[in-house]
Chain A
Amino acid sequence: MKSLPVIQDGCQPRPPGHRPLWQSVEELESRSARPGGEFAPGASEVPPEMSRRSFMQILGASAALGGLAACQPPREKIVPFVHEPPENRPGKRFHYATALALDGHATGLLVGSADGRPVKVEGNPAHPTSQGASSTWDQAALLDLYDPGRARGFTRRGAPLSFRGLLAEVQKLARGHEADGGARLAFLLGPDASPTLAALRRRVQARFPRARFHFWAPVTDENALEGARIAFGRPLDVRPAVDPARVILALDSDFLSGQGDSLRLTREFARHREPGAEMNRLYVAEPAMTPTGAAADHRFRMRGGEVAAFARAVAAHLGVVPASPALPPELARAARAVAADLGANRARSLVLVGPRQPAAVHALAHALNGALGNVGTTVRYVRPVLGDGAPSSGALPALARAIEAGTVDTLVVTAWNPVHAAPAGLDVGALLARVPDVLYLALREDETSRHCSWRIAQSHPFESWGDARSRDGVASVVQPLVSPLYESTTAIDLLAAFVDAGDRGAREHVRTTWAARAGLDPAAIDAQWNGWLRQGVIPGTAEAPEAASVDVAGVTSALGRLPAARSEGIELCLAPSAGLYDGRFATNAWLQELPDPITKVTWDNAAWISEATARRLGVETGQVVTLAAGSRSLQAPVQVVPGHADDAVTLTLGHGRTDGSPVSKGVGVDAYRLREAGAWFVHGVTVTPGKGRHAFAIAQGHFAMEGRPLALDFTAKDWSHDQGREELDHLRGPAATAQAPVDYSRQEYAWGMAVDLSRCTGCNACVIACQEENNVATVGKEQVAKGRIMHWIRTDRYFSGPAANPETITQPVMCQQCETAPCEYVCPVNATVHSDEGLNEMVYNRCVGTRYCSNNCPYKVRRFNFLNWRPEVPDVETLRFNPDVTVRSRGVMEKCTYCVQRIEGARIDARVAGKKIGTVQSACQQACPAEAIVFGNLNDPQSKVKRLHQDARRYDLLHELGTRPRTAYLVRIRNPNPDLA
């Protein structure tokens, strides 16, 4: 160690009287050259090299300056918790019960919140509609919350208003309408079963007796309600129970997906898809293939207008209505067999009708269910929860007439985007421009906002207080997860402003409503209130079943009034889109990129036609055709879809937006341009082939299994006779291998999964749940077309049999977590390795992106970040990222991890509690309404996944490759009617 000199030269006192002596001339000269140095004698001179003092100075200075660097004022505002919530633990996920309503019908949800940010939507197990599952739309609502294109703030004729200012202006406006009782005040509202809103409406109506409320939505249940009116004399809502049903006839009813109660119905349906006496049988009659049609044991394809005749034939065979006009022989045979099967299962059968069918068919179904003794077992009738707020397609034309008559000065619009979804020929935009004050409450700026003088940003349901009811009537309090990201308000606040109560806050309104219902003082309901919030349901709110008797004569006469199914021309069938519904989800990139369950098209809609019709018209997939209905026409690309009815074209609603977010703008074609008010089937459409070509981005281009044993199915009869089980034995059990496999049986945990193909309906809930949980990127149409979709789990869909009406099978495929994984040994940098619990782990940090693992993966479940998708994510959207999962950058391979972050989270909790890990649910399993995906510990003999791995139906995908996958599949069992074989 070097010792530094101490400054002391010159400090030594000079002896008095000492004079410097010199010994040589040179010495004298050298002294005189530097006479005494710079400093006076006695002063300490700086030594030539570093001294201890200067060392300490530099040391001190660098410490001080180093500290100063951190003293820079922070660039961003840092706001600590002023009052830290007592339960808050950083990194800990909290779940809050809330509800989301679609067209007024709520699903109970639990929303996971990480450090104050909602990051995951899950079903509320305590809620009867959800039972723990969640749909694609529920899941994707999270992305809407963080949509950078959301409306912000409030403006009146372009001038910004504060919330207080808005309330004051609205109250002033309202006072102006008091004089004439609101004769010139109108409301255009979307369907909403919220009791608080209903109460507010009543108060508004009391203040403005002559104000008019119009309830409107693009997709309504009005046909069903009208059918009930025909059958029962009053509008009643059908609450089907699939659980006890052994034979189900779905008439153009997509009850396993789509709106309504699909989560509950799917769960009940799937429960009885295992071989045995309890197995149900599903007949579906529909024009275009839906997930319900794909799940059917018998699917009869027919045009939308022919369903009535088919239903009538079935009913005639059962003696419910007089014999009907003759059907084509094949359908007649089908109707006979269906009728026989229904008749043989009295009180255990179910007839369902979709909302697109005319009222008479609904009425006929009521008659059928009544005659079959199903009422009380598989069918109950309840009062519609929407009550007098049920939307009707006639509401918009009625409002238009009022506007044209000049009787509306103030119009409050909370219905979703009436300009876009208006019936063809009705220029709502121009009408809105004629109304002096249009108050438009909307989540986003859209086609309608442009025409409205007041633009009021709506809060997302995850930011709002409110209440909602499921179709069963079960009420939930909607509670916010986060304070509004942008200045916005709710429908409750807006409506309350019309009764000068806008400043009370939505929470107070909801509390007041429910306190009144519970007969309690609003100030004293804390205990109940907190219980409701925690549970997510308000007990005792379910609607009681109503007794109802069918007026068969009325039904018969209504059937007689139905126009005969016309055979000439082409029928245009409109349908809500599987991803975008009526278009309200068009700005949601997750749903745009979600492959259609049947066609697997992303970022598009298409004119679906059957192969025979395509041949007859001389068109092929991708060709642009002109669809003309009357004076209106639309250009749309054709897609040939197996199983579509002949001489019919199906076009889904919701695409072809002209305004709004870049996600939705110009994607697909706008089917509303051909739609009359409330119409679902347009007859006599002409299809003219055009020259243009359109490129689809199809996530799965190949439909056939090519005879490979991939997604397997058996008929129940074959299964019970052990036919083909030998074949199954080749697809399971120990695979021939030269190398002794690793023994995982002594590990505490061996994670595994089982996927029951009998249960899967291909609804895609798992896909979105996985995307949400695992921060999976969306890549856009161009990249999907290039084959770079990022979904970690996909639903493979295969057709077999005749292309005209094939059998369909769906198969969710995620990483199979092979015990001897082909991906692992080829990775040059050890970036994908095996855990001792059997997980095939991906080490993103280590990955250099050779893509060799993907090439060698026989299941092709690996996904490569070909580009950096992350910069495309708007800043606000980054808040939705699950903090437990790495966001991958470009050049890195990724894939399903069996939700390893959930396993590790459970392990931490288990360790803290000193127990073994209990149940862990993967995100796909959690969302699956059919309970088709089961995850768990294979080393726990009690676990459900272990039982399924030992099931007689179990097989491994590509078993012969010896990959020893941890994911097992259970063959699908079909239950066809022997009479129709």
Chain B
Amino acid sequence: MTPPAQAAAEREALAPLPLIAGRPTDTQLNTELLTPIFTPSQGWKALVTLAALGTGLLGVGLTLTIARGIGMWGNNQPVGWAYDIINFVWWIGIGHAGTLISAILLLFQQKWRTSINRFAEAMTIFAVMQAAMFPLVHTGRPWFAIYWLFPYPNTMGIWPNFKSPLIWDVFAVSTYFTISLLFWYLGLIPDLATLRDTATKKVQKVAYGIFAMGWKGSSRHWQHYRIGYLILAGISTPLVLSVHSIVSFDFAVSQLPGWHTTIFPPYFVAGAVFGGFAMVLTLMIPARAAFRFQNVVTSRHLENMAKVMLVTSMIVGYGYLMENFMAWYSGNPYESFLFFNTRTRGPYAPIYWAMIVCNVLVPQTFWWKRARTSVAWLWIASVLVGFGMWAERFVIIVISLHRDFLPSSWGMYAPTWVDWSIFVGTISFFSLLFLLFLRFVPSVAIAEVKELNHEMQHEAAHAGGGGHEKAHAGVHP
């Protein structure tokens, strides 16, 4: 190989992988990305059935809980919160990646987001739906909690306690859900219009037509759309930080060792992004294979997500380190005991060590490109991280509660089958919603991908020589 050719080859190796493989035309993209909607597969039906059955389990669990009481769960004294709040925080955390990918990467003009943002946003909304269930059903008397947690004027002059982080949760989660939903829907409108225009069945035409809200794709529409989308992105961005910060206040504001930590807000946000990206990968990798989206969701995307996971894993790891450092440095005997005895050697120590392995050690493999680009390992790692983040919440909630200040009140916690039903049920319900989403809505933002495609071809034309005019002349198919 000649030296210049070798240099070129080395450059090639270092250059980022393309965001869109091949040079598809708009029509090709349309066809490819809308196939799952217009031609459903048998596998989809089987999965929906499975997910629906699991959702039934959720119904059973919740019905029992509401009818008989929290006693159906394993919660007790001293472990007042367990699977309920673990699941809440876990799902809320998963719900973070979507908005992060959509809004923050949009504002930072990270183009690689376009192929995955829709997917991630849908995941956000469905995850927040799972999470939003728990603040209500984990109460002893949800029929009162459903409205007493909101500030409404009443003759008794009783208001919620605005000092309680649980009230902040109510506002934070409901705001986040609303904004995420609007953001997702706004982003969907051009694609819904595409669907309306390509659909062949009357029902589909009408339904998509209604949801497309009369989108014509005119410049005026695009101008307003862009402004609206940016505004929502701007509103969402602080929410990404605030929601999980506020969720972390549920713990940080209390005085329980293991909860009472000022590092919690950033550490929770990083953990949420970490867990959220892991969930995106967990879902994206099979979907990509099933729907043959490899040329829009390329290795580049997967690799970028792996990098984000590596960074957030290290932030989370730093959080763990700092917690331990502060426990030692503060000289607080209760904290020291929790961090250096209960967690590491206590009855639930395996879960603690599993958390360390999954959240700190496993992502370290992403320093190697081979790990980042191996789809199988990425999937395994992201599943492990998903479990690790669940374990982290178990460590924070159950391990801190089960051995606190007075050894006389120490106790153990064991989940019941109802706990498991609700946990498995939320996963099923999430999957059900997600499968419906894959079936009825474009799971990749077609308009944005097309736009990116144009930009890339435009840039390629510039790079290919022939001057500006040529580049601008022939790239509009």
Contact = CB atoms under 8 A, between A and B. Distances in A.
A849 B149 contact: no
Contacts of A702: 407-408, 410
Nearest to A704: B407
A858 B76 contact: no
Interface in A675-709: 700-708
B141 A849 contact: yes
Contact of A786 (B76, B144, B145, B334): B76
A88 interface: no
Interface of A is mostly: loop
Interface in A788-814: 788-789, 794, 796-798, 811, 813
B408 A813 contact: yes
B405 A859 contact: yes
Contacts of B158: 830, 846
A55 interface: no
A891 B69 contact: yes
A215 to B, nearest CB: 43
B68, B140, B141, B164: which has the most chain A beta carbons within 10 Å? Answer: B140
A822 B254 contact: yes
A776 interface: no
A786 B408 contact: no
B167 interface: yes
A828 B160 contact: yes
Interface stretch (A566-574, A860-868, A965-973): A860-868
A720 interface: no
A847 interface: yes
Given A830-B159, A848-B139, A858-B255, A868 B69 contact: yes
B404 A826 contact: no
Contact of B75 (A789, A859, A866): A866
Given A849-B140, A859-B406, A961-B255, A825 B69 contact: no
Interface residues of A, number: 54
A707 B69 CA distance: 38
Contacts of A855: 78, 80-81, 254, 256, 401
Contacts of A856: 254-256
A62 interface: no
Contact of A796 (B78, B254, B408): B408
Contacts of A435: none
Contacts, number: 171
A864 B406 contact: no
A52 interface: no
A634 interface: no
Contacts of B413: 787
Nearest to A891: B140
B393 interface: no
Interface in A772-795: 783, 786-789, 794
A822 B71 contact: no
B322 interface: no
A220 interface: no
B420 interface: no
A859 B410 CA distance: 11
B80 A864 contact: yes
A852 interface: yes
A798 to B, nearest CB: 7
A911 interface: no
Contacts of A706: 337, 407
A380 to B, nearest CB: 40
Given A787-B79, A961-B255, A705 B407 contact: yes
A850 B410 contact: no
Nearest to A708: B333
Contact of B140 (A789, A825, A863, A864): A864
Interface string B132-168: 0000001111101100110000000011110111110
B139 A850 contact: yes
B167 A847 contact: no
B216 to A, nearest CB: 47
A710 B164 contact: no
Interface in B326-371: 333-334, 337
A5 to B, nearest CB: 40
Nearest to A788: B76
Contacts of B81: 851-852, 855
Contacts of B214: none
A869 to B, nearest CB: 9
Nearest to B410: A702
Contacts of B76: 786-788, 866
Contact of B406 (A796, A852, A854, A866): A796
A708 B407 contact: yes
A701 B410 contact: yes
Nearest to B413: A787
B149 A828 contact: yes
Interface string B71-94: 110111111110000000000000
A708, A789, A829, A958: which has the most chain B beta carbons within 10 Å? Answer: A829
B342 to A, nearest CB: 10
7 contacts: A786-B74, A830-B158, A830-B159, A855-B254, A858-B255, A891-B70, A891-B140
Question: Closest 3 CB pairs between A and B?
Answer: A849-B140, A891-B140, A787-B76
Interface of A: 700-708, 710, 783, 786-789, 794, 796-798, 811, 813, 822, 825-830, 846-852, 854-856, 858-860, 862-868, 890-893, 958, 961
Given A829-B148, A849-B139, A862-B77, 9 more contacts: A708-B333, A825-B253, A826-B165, A848-B149, A849-B141, A855-B80, A856-B254, A867-B68, A958-B406
